């Protein structure tokens, strides 16, 4: 029976849904000249949702479930949700000047982003297979529409079609796997599935379903060999949209992987850990080697995303609390780094000029030393150079892999980390040692016009160094989530 107590853990989600509907109605009566109000309301909605989540964190010490275990609120979920709010709010601020210059500053952008955030929240707190699929589809459908936001762009429309078709295929594979797990256990509850997996006997049907689930997870992460959609979508979508879909959803994807693998199939870790390890190796190899050949910065960052997913899988492959904490730390770190990387492209872009190519950054230090320094911090962190945040994130997952008995995988990760550093250093090289490019690129090197974009990018990039020097506090929160 549903009681009032069932709704209390969902207070942030309920508020976000109501506020999103209100913003949708407000946008109907706001003129294009006053659409900044919608932008402000969307940011305030994320702030208020964050406050509700933060206040709820201190109410109880242990996990709280609602609606018969369909919804679970715990420390891991609260930390990931707070990270989602921060990254999504930054994405809204980064996107405003970009969309305004291109005639894409529309209310539906904010509604779709907030609905995607709601989907991520449900996915993070899912305690039931139905809740996992509902949150995933809400996130996916919002993302498809966001990619197609620029309806006049044939490249964006093509990217949206590829994303939709391949995403529907992956969702079907995931749903088929979930149905097999339900058939094998007779339950949709993750805790009950965990108990069934721990019972002695044959688990052939459940393992078959787990294989299909792994395929769906790999697609949502963008892991090789299910990465075929990611470079085209990242390049084809407007950069402001790429920034959002390339950062915050990775946090929800990690939560989904943890809920399904450890929360449901934990006793079968001897099987899925090997699958995760293979996906990690393939992602590290594919992402880093193909990124070396890219001249388009958005495609390079897309392939680097595949390699970063491989590093995140190193932590998951350990199958331990320390490994999950390391993977969660990596997911949060990568979201901050990815948002800053795509924001640097937005900072150099102007109407009629997209700073998407690496050559567009030539001679940036000569014309704008501060912006070049920010890009230096971003690329250094992505490369894992000491003592930036990315260095500690890579070190944490490599250590977790070694402790999990996968020394060969850790050595492979170290080798590919060295290879991957090359294409990040190439961006730094063209900024500091090459002559400025042609006239359009020279225009892109002008100062950042929007003050909010300028300050946020500065804070975001410098934060990668600050957190690199004081990373222990963030890691402690991740370890606390798994009782390390």
Q: State pTM to two decimals.
A: 0.94
Helix ranges (DSSP H) in 292-388: 297-317, 321-348, 364-367, 369-383
CA distance 72 to 9: 8
Residue with tokens 């891991």: 76
- CB-neighbour burial class of residue 61 (10 A; exposed 0-12, middle 13-18, buried 19+): exposed
pLDDT (tens digit per residue) in 374-426? 999 999 999 999 989 999 999 999 999 999 889 999 999 999 999 999 999 99
For residue 439, name the pLDDT band (cuts at 50, 70, 90).
Answer: very low
Nearest Cα neighbor of 209 from 191, 184, 172 is 184
Residue 189 three-state SS: strand
Please report the pLDDT score of residue 192 as a whole number: 93
Q: What is the DSSP letter of 224?
A: T
Residue 199's φ and ψ, nearest 5 degrees, are -70, 145
Query: From start to end of 121-273, where are the E strands?
Result: none
Nearest Cα neighbor of 42 from 16, 63, 60 is 16
* Helix, strand, coil share (%) of the chain residues, nearest 5: 80, 5, 20
Contacts (Cβ under 8 Å, ≥6 apart) of 179: 209
- Sequence ranges of the domains in the chain: 270-484
CA distance 282 to 276: 10
Tokens standing for 322?
């320390």
Please report the pLDDT score of residue 353 as a whole number: 79
**Mean pLDDT, all residues of the chain:** 91
Mean pLDDT along residues 216-220: 91
Residue 187 pLDDT exceeds 70? yes
pLDDT (tens digit per residue) in 162-174? 999 999 999 999 9
For residue 446, name the pLDDT band (cuts at 50, 70, 90).
Answer: low
Query: HEC string of 59-113?
Result: CCCCCEEECCCCEEECHHHHHHHHHHHHHHHHHHHHHHHHHHHCCCCCHHHHHHH
Residue 223 pLDDT exceeds 70? yes
Tokens standing for 294?
């890219």
Bridge partner residues of 71 (DSSP): 66, 126
Query: HEC string of 247-273?
Result: CHHHHHHHHHHHHHHHHHCHHHHHHHH
């Amino acid at each position: 029976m549903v009681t009032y107590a069932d709704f209390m853990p969902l207070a942030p989600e309920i508020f976000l849904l109501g506020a999103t509907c209100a913003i949708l109605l407000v946008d109907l009566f706001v003129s294009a000249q006053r659409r900044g109000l919608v932008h402000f309301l969307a940011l305030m909605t994320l702030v208020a949702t964050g406050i509700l989540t933060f206040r709820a964190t201190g109410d109880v010490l242990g996990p709280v479930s609602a609606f018969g275990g369909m919804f679970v609120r715990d420390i891991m979920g609260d930390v990931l949700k707070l990270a989602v709010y921060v990254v999504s709010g930054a994405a809204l601020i980064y996107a405003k000047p970009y969309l305004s210059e291109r005639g894409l500053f529309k209310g539906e952008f904010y509604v779709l982003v907030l609905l995607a955030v709601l989907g991520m929240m449900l996915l993070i707190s899912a305690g039931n297979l139905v809740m996992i699929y509902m949150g995933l589809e809400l996130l996916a459908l919002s993302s498809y529409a966001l990619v197609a936001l620029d309806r006049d762009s044939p490249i964006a429309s093509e990217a949206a079609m590829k994303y939709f078709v391949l995403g529907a295929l992956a969702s079907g594979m995931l749903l088929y796997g979930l149905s097999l797990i339900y058939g094998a256990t007779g339950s949709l509850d993750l805790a009950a599935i965990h108990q069934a997996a721990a019972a002695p006997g044959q688990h052939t049907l459940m393992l078959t379903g787990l294989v299909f689930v792994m395929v769906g997870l790999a697609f949502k992460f963008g892991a090789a060999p299910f990465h075929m959609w990611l470079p085209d979508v990242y390049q084809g979508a407007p950069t402001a949209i790429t920034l959002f879909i390339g950062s915050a959803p990775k946090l929800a994807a990690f939560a989904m992987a943890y809920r399904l693998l450890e929360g449901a199939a934990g006793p079968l870790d001897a099987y899925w850990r090997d699958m995760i390890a293979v996906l990690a190796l393939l992602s590290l190899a594919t992402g880093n080697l193909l990124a070396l050949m890219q001249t388009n910065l958005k495609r390079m960052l897309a392939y680097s995303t595949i390699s970063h997913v491989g590093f995140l899988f190193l932590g998951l492959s350990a199958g331990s609390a320390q490994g999950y904490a390391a993977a969660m730390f990596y997911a949060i770190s990568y979201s901050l780094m990815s948002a800053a990387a795509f924001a640097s492209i937005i900072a150099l872009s102007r109407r009629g000029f997209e700073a998407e190519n690496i050559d567009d950054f030539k001679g940036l230090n000569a014309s704008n030393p501060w912006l070049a320094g920010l890009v230096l911090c971003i690329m250094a962190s992505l490369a894992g150079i000491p003592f930036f945040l990315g260095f500690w994130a890579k070190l944490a997952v490599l250590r977790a892999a070694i402790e999990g008995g996968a020394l060969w995988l850790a050595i492979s990760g170290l080798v590919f980390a060295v290879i991957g550093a090359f294409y990040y250093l190439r961006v730094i090289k063209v900024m500091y040692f090459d002559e400025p490019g042609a006239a359009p690129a020279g225009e892109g090197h002008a100062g950042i016009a929007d003050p909010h974009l300028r300050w946020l990018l500065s804070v975001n990039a410098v934060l990668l160094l600050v957190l690199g020097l004081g990373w222990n506090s963030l890691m402690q929160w991740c370890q606390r989530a798994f009782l390390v």
